[in-house]
A and B are shown apart, each in its own frame.
Chain A
């Protein structure tokens, strides 16, 4: 079987499917942005940017898109971005969700566990101001009331292409 897989992959070559055009972004954009992102990360972060993700009450759609950033089509890793398992290894904290009361302490502890220098990025509508859950008895209105946020990636959820483009623009201005 493994021989079959090997044969298959040699025969087929690259299996990634070209990104289809959506209304706002297309593949060449992502490729171009990604290559620029790679150069920027090389220069400003000495080769790589490590990100730790924390869900503070999101619905799971943002997580799904963040995971999709690493699939063979977008493959954000080739631009120097990696999602790590521990805050101890992270340069940046990526936060989704409006911060439910239960998650407040865990979020703060995760942030404290990160080495300096560090910064916080938020993803999705709920993380800016609570989104649809604004005013709930059990949710804060966004991450910025709890941690210093330097970048927000809008969308409900933002697509992988949008995430890559926003990261590039942000690092460019850093």
Chain B
């Protein structure tokens, strides 16, 4: 088999037996390899591209082709495209060799594949389930298999989850959750502490697991868009956009320029209100309530603007495949412009309040450091990775309408709470400038904002740099125009592990601060 040129450039002189390769889209290269070569090719790509595993998932094709297929997705930053390594898994012997021993970022994905499909990653040292809790779900029932049926009613499974134990003199554990003191999602945090400093933190999630990927199967594209808006409520727009992008690829629809620009405006508005919320949250977690309340006013102002623009405070019901539901007319554009001025000045005051307070800066400086090397190894994304000195941003890493807009990728080097705070503050400023540029461009652009889509069979990756980080969606549509399989990766999925590394050596009272500076999603992670 001839290597695609793209692959040749990356792997150089190495020989890999590629059975099949295809490039259905400009930015997606699919490579099918023998089972024995899968690990080797993934290692090569991981090293040469310097890319963590971005997605790793399975698909049940037993009904048609008598096999499962595994897909492992890497990002080629230089070529701004995805490389997807594919491996067939025999239906009667569902096992594969683990990647996790050398590529840490594959570990959580492998555990997910194991619990959802019953395909065993042989050699992965951690076989514990993530979302189907041992206490309530019996073994041997794999929800994402096509022939899945519910376990029989009866008493709960009653198995126990094993936490990692730290042993030694004077070590004690502090368990927190799943129900927390604040108004927040559920998660269980187990701290192992010696005196004051945290020496280990294990985060157990999955409490809000609702079976989203299974629910999506068999839904029409229109129904699925609604579900996507309810995966993580604060990223409603980012999620529906990522899904629409993936479907637009599958259907081969080109979205009118006006819709693309308006989508950018909404995405940046979402980024701004969430960053305002986070900055306020960081202030609140050190007990500095005046700026916290001030930030909540900024957030409320943007939410009210959202409602005026589209009738929904959380930007729901805007995205449709092929464009957007309703146009934003010149009156509404003016509203945005006026609001931006106010938001900008408010943000400057907010920053002044925070950065000029010595006691506040003392709490955030050098707290919760996530080192660059750790961030890279864990496959951290979004704000957290940029605060640790790595300039990953899907708005730059992929081809999109953002190419026609000028903005900076905000980076900080120190990786502490202060760095994440600064990244957020500066990203808001960039967002304001991006929105202004879009408003200028919209004046001269044709009025068409929706392209009719012809349903057809297909698949594709949709990826959006939402406020937390990249939301990644891979979906396959069947011949009836319904969803066959949909894989969703929330930016929080790998970032939660980053949090458990960042808190090491800090004291428990600083945990809320570290947690808020990452501000991860429970619902998006648990799906």
Any chain B CB within 8 A of the CB of A1? Answer: yes
Give Cα distance in the complex from A162 to B137, angstroms.
Answer: 37
B168-210 with Cβ < 8 A to chain A: 178-179, 181-186, 206-210
Whether, in the assembled complex, B331 has its beta carbon less than 8 Å from a beta carbon of chain A, the answer is no
A86 at the interface (CB under 8 A from B): yes
Q: In the docked arrangement, what's the CA distance between A162 and B230, Å?
A: 19
Interface digits, A69-92 against B, CB 8 Å rule (1 contact, 0 not)? 001110000000001011000000
The answer, yes or no, to whether A171 is at the interface (CB within 8 Å) is no
User: Is the Cβ of B209 less than 8 Å from the Cβ of A59?
Assistant: no
**Are A102 and B206 within 8 A (Cβ)?**
yes
**C-alpha spacing A139/B277, complex, angstroms:** 29
Indicate if A20 sits at the interface (CB-CB under 8 A).
Answer: yes
Given A17-B301, A57-B209, A110-B179, answer yes or no on A103-B186 (Cβ-Cβ < 8 Å): yes
Contact between chains at A16 and B297 (CB < 8 Å): yes
Interface 1/0s, chain B 226-245, versus A by CB < 8 A?
Answer: 11001111101000000000
User: Is B215 touching A133 in the complex (CB atoms < 8 A)?
Assistant: yes
Tell yes or no: A129 within 8 A of B by CB: no
B143→A61 contact, CB < 8 A: no
- Least CB separation from B521: chain A residue: A60
When A60-B522, A101-B137 are in contact, do A138 and B211 touch as well, CB less than 8 Å? yes
Determine which of B179, B230, B301, B522 lies in contact with A132 in the assembled complex, contact meaning CB atoms within 8 Å: B230
Supposing A60-B521, A68-B303, A85-B182 touch, asked if A100 and B234 sit within 8 A by C-beta, the answer is no
For A61, give its contact among B207, B314, B356, B522 (CB under 8 Å): B314
Which residues of B are found within 8 Å of A71, using beta-carbon distances?
293, 296-297, 299-300
**Centre residue among A59, A64, A104 by max chain B CB count within 10 A:** A59
- Residue from A60, A62, A105 having most chain B Cβ neighbours under 10 A: A60
Complex alpha-carbon distance, A131 and B182, angstroms: 25
**How far apart are the CA atoms of A16 and B300 in the complex, in Å?**
10
Q: What is the minimal beta-carbon distance from A19 to any residue of chain B, in angstroms? A: 8
A5 CA / B360 CA spacing, docked (Å):
15
Interface status of B214 (Cβ within 8 A of chain A):
yes
Return the chain A residue nearest B231 by Cβ. Answer: A59
Q: Is A146 interfacial (CB-CB < 8 Å)?
A: no
User: A138: which B residues are within 8 A, CB to CB?
Assistant: 132, 137, 143, 209-211
Sorting the interface of chain A by its residue count into under 10, 10 to 19, 20 to 34 or 35 or more gives 35 or more
- Kindly state whether residue A15 has any CB partner on chain B within 8 Å: yes
- Residue B338 at the A interface, CB < 8 A? no
A106 at the interface (CB under 8 A from B): yes
Question: Which residues of B sit under 8 angstroms from A61, Cβ to Cβ?
Answer: 230, 233-234, 236, 314
Known contacts A71-B300, A72-B293; A60 and B179 CB within 8 A of each other: no
Q: Does B34 belong to the interface (CB within 8 Å)?
A: no
| Smallest beta-carbon distance A137→chain B, Å | 5
Least Cβ–Cβ distance between A139 and chain B, in angstroms: 5
- In the complex, the answer to whether B232 meets A132 with C-beta atoms within 8 Å is no
B233: A residues at CB distance < 8 A:
58-64, 157
The smallest beta-carbon distance between A97 and chain B, in angstroms, is 7
Main secondary structure of the interface of B (DSSP, over half): loop
CB-nearest residue of chain B to A104: B136
B424 on interface, CB distance cutoff 8 Å: no
A98 at the interface (CB under 8 A from B): yes
Nearest CB of B to A55, in Å? 5
* A101 CA to B178 CA, complexed, in Å: 13
Q: Which residues of B contact A86 (CB under 8 A)?
A: 181
- Chain A residues contacting B63 (CB-CB under 8 Å) are none
B365 at the interface (CB under 8 A from A): no
The answer on a CB contact under 8 Å between A136 and B208 is no
A173 at interface by CB-CB < 8 Å: no
A103–B353 CB distance below 8 A = no
> In the bound complex, what is the Cα–Cα distance between A133 and B75 (angstroms)?
32
Instruction: Map CB proximity to A onto B107-145 as digits: 1 under 8 Å, 0 otherwise.
Output: 000000000000000000000000011011100000100
Set of chain A residues within 8 Å of B215, measured between Cβ atoms = 132-133, 135-136
**B150 in the interface, Cβ–Cβ < 8 Å?**
yes
A133–B181 touching, CB < 8 Å: no
Query: Which residue of chain B has its CB nearest to the CB of A134?
Result: B215
A106 in complex: contacting residue of B179, B212, B313, CB < 8 Å: B179
Q: Which of A15, A23, A57, A157 contacts B207 (CB 8 A)?
A: A57
B32 part of interface (Cβ distance < 8 Å): no
B24 close to A (CB within 8 Å):
no
Q: Does B517 lie at the interface of the complex (its beta carbon under 8 Å from any beta carbon of A)? A: no
Question: Please, which residues of chain B bring their CB within 8 A of the CB of A136?
Answer: 210-212, 214-215
Residues of B within 8 A of A58 (CB): 185, 208, 233, 523
Q: CA–CA, A64 to B232, complex, Å?
A: 11
- Give the segment of B93-101, B304-312, B376-384 that binds chain A: B304-312
Q: Give the one of B133, B230, B311 with max A CB within 10 A.
A: B230
State the CA gap A56–B137 with chains docked (Å). 17
Residues in chain A near residue B143, CB distance under 8 A? 137-138
Distance of A71 Cα from B284 Cα, bound (Å): 12
Q: When the two chains form the complex, which single residue of B133, B308, B352, B356 contacts A102, counting CB atoms closer than 8 Å?
A: B133
Residues of A within 8 A of B183 (CB): 53, 55, 63, 66-67, 83
A20 to B212, CA, bound (A): 35
The contact string, 1 if C-beta is below 8 Å from chain A, for chain B 266-301, is: 000000000001000000000000100110110111
Closest A residue to B219 by CB, please name it: A132
Contact (A97, B314) CB under 8 Å given A5-B353, A61-B234: no
- Enumerate chain B residues within 8 angstroms of A73, measured Cβ to Cβ: 297, 300
**In this complex, what residue of B is CB-closest to A160?**
B300
- For A85, the chain B residues whose CB sits under 8 A away are 181-182
Query: Do A100 and B356 have beta carbons less than 8 Å apart?
Result: no
Shortest CB distance B241–A (Å): 16
Q: Is A48 interfacial (CB 8 A cutoff)?
A: no
Verify B211–A60 contact, CB threshold 8 A.
Answer: no
Instruction: Assess whether B304 is in contact with A103, with CB atoms less than 8 Å apart.
Output: no
Please list the 7 inter-chain residue pairs (A to B) with the smallest Cβ-Cβ separation, ordered nearest first.
Answer: A61-B233, A85-B181, A59-B233, A60-B233, A136-B211, A71-B296, A57-B208
Return 21 A-B CB contacts under 8 Å, by A number.
A1-B357, A22-B304, A55-B185, A57-B207, A57-B526, A58-B185, A60-B185, A61-B233, A61-B234, A63-B185, A63-B233, A64-B314, A71-B296, A72-B297, A101-B137, A102-B178, A102-B209, A103-B207, A133-B210, A136-B211, A136-B212
